[in-house]
Structure 1
Amino acid sequence: MPALYLSHGAPPLADDPVWPGQLAAWSAALPRPRAILMISAHWEEAPLALGATETVPLVYDFWGFPERYYQVRYEAPGAPALAESVRKLLRAPGMPVQDIPDRGLDHGAYVPLVEMFPDAGIPVLQVSMPTLDPQCLLEIGRRLAPLRDEGVLIVGSGFFTHNLAALRHAGGGVPGWSAEFDDWGQRALAAADVDALLDFEHKAPDGKLAHPRTEHFAPLFVALGAAEGDPVGGRSVIDGFWMGLAKRSVQFG
């Protein structure tokens, strides 16, 4: 299986005239996964945590939206066998793994999955980010890489640029910092320039403005680590902007 980094969007993504179709076309071009391992920008927990391994209610981790967004369901099967594999691959001195069995999928996980795999027939496991340190997340991805050979789709779910506060002061259109970071990131991914990506806060134009807090870029490093050794760099499958934010989404392998 490939490894993916995708920009997941807020719940109103479902109403966008273009983006849901792009996600659906992407998933249709993939081999059908045996299971899906999700790393979302919206779950930071240390030590690293495994979410529910049976179907539990979703986490509606957003506020102020119309009621219909809180009625969405995604009752994918749990993935206890995948959870056991993740424990074996990650558990090591200095890297404990905990279980939070009542933690359902948050919107960074289920919003794109509803569009990509609407039948909810594939087992899904979500794991937390125990840190936002890119090098540590790269190492986690490396350890998870063997799952790809077992038919597991590893998905890092974030947003390629993410500064909501700056958007409120930017007026309409795409702000320059979002466009410039997106262009730099596309070139770095295509060239497989992992060193530049790891140091994006300093090497990218407007790196700290595009990501004043790095949780939405951080899942990229899990996907990068899982794809290490692939002969080509990341291939952008989705690009463009949504409400001024870059929705670039990338496939490795």
Structure 2
Amino acid sequence: MSRMPALYLSHGAPPLADDAVWTRELADWVAALPRPEAILIVSAHWEAAPLTLGATERVPLVYDFWGFPERYYRVTYDAPGAPGLAEDVRKLLNRAGRPVHHDPGRGLDHGAYVPLKEMYPQADIPVLQVSMPTLDPGELFELGRRLAPLRDQGVLIVGSGFTTHNLSAFDPRKGPDADPPGWSAEFDRWAHEAVTGRDVDALLDFRHKAPAARLAHPRTEHFAPLFVTLGADADRPGEARAVIDGYWYGLAKRSFQFA
């Protein structure tokens, strides 16, 4: 079996699923990928320590957002669970002396199901969501390295966040096609150069090395999934490239594929 790529994608809020450009970009991206045996996804919207495995049987989605029209709370994504993958994750991390918990009632949150519904709309690929046990870039990078062998078993590892994410500067009155503010564009350019240039040291220290880092990410949970993806491609690095770029309400939706 050929090695699966690893992805970092910008998932956005539920209304991003109404954006015809973004949904087409995701569909086109998947069309060029090999079909995975299973998907392991880390979302910006689930932090729990120690690392926690989500449901391995079908359970309701987690609608972890407020104030949206009712139709967003009726979205379903009935993908199969992945108990075998969960056991593989447990073995890999236990071997490294890392404890693993299980939350059997924890369904996919919108950082997972919103993009997956556009990428794999038939919901016929097993999905396992795992928590981020920390926001420390180095520890998440090491977590990705521990999970990397799964790629040789047909598992698509996905980090789901957003390349710039500052909701205090978010202005819905400007519309989805608004020009990005300077801080968003500066950080996006830097992230593109650092990722495609594989400047891992700078990325791990992005709070000090990236321009406008504290404006682009006042809290780092939406950039943090990138480090899991980076780590999953660290030992046998392949090509790193941006597959999606551009902005949504001024926020950078740049997304990367490794190998």
- TM-score range (shorter-chain normalised) is over 0.9
Distance in 1 (CA, whole Å) between partners of 2:118 and 2:171 is 28
1:93 positional shift = 6.5
Report the equivalent of 1:162: 165
Note if 1:102 corresponds to 2:108: no
Report the equivalent of 1:180: 186
Report the equivalent of 2:202: 196
TM-score where L is the length of structure 2: 0.95
1:47 positional shift = 0.9
Give the one of 73, 78, 81 matched to 1:78.
81
Deviations 1:115-141 (A, max 9, x none): 000000000000000000000000000
Note if 1:134 corresponds to 2:134: no
Identity value in percent: 73
1:17 positional shift = 2.2
TM-score where L is the length of structure 1: 0.97
Structure 1: gaps (5+ residues): none
Note if 1:229 corresponds to 2:235: yes
Note if 1:48 corresponds to 2:51: yes
1:173 positional shift = 2.7
Aligned pair count reads 253
Report the equivalent of 1:117: 120
1:230/1:252 contact within 8 Å kept: no
Structure 2: gaps (5+ residues): none
Distance in 2 (CA, whole Å) between partners of 1:27 and 1:93 is 32
1:192/1:232 contact within 8 Å kept: no
Distance in 1 (CA, whole Å) between partners of 2:186 and 2:179 is 14
1:192/1:233 contact within 8 Å kept: no
Give the one of 17, 24, 29 matched to 2:20.
17
Q: CA RMSD in A?
A: 1.5
2:171/2:249 contact within 8 Å kept: no
Bigger Cα displacement from structure 2, 24-33 vs 167-176: 167-176
Report the equivalent of 2:218: 212
Q: Judging changes above 3 Å, is the alpha-carbon distance between structure 1 residues 120 and 170 closer, same or farther for their aligned structure 2 residues?
A: closer
1:139/1:225 contact within 8 Å kept: yes
1:167 positional shift = 2.6
Bigger Cα displacement from structure 2, 233-242 vs 76-85: 233-242
Distance in 1 (CA, whole Å) between partners of 2:172 and 2:67 is 20
Structure 2 letter corresponding to 1:250? F
Distance in 2 (CA, whole Å) between partners of 1:170 and 1:68 is 21
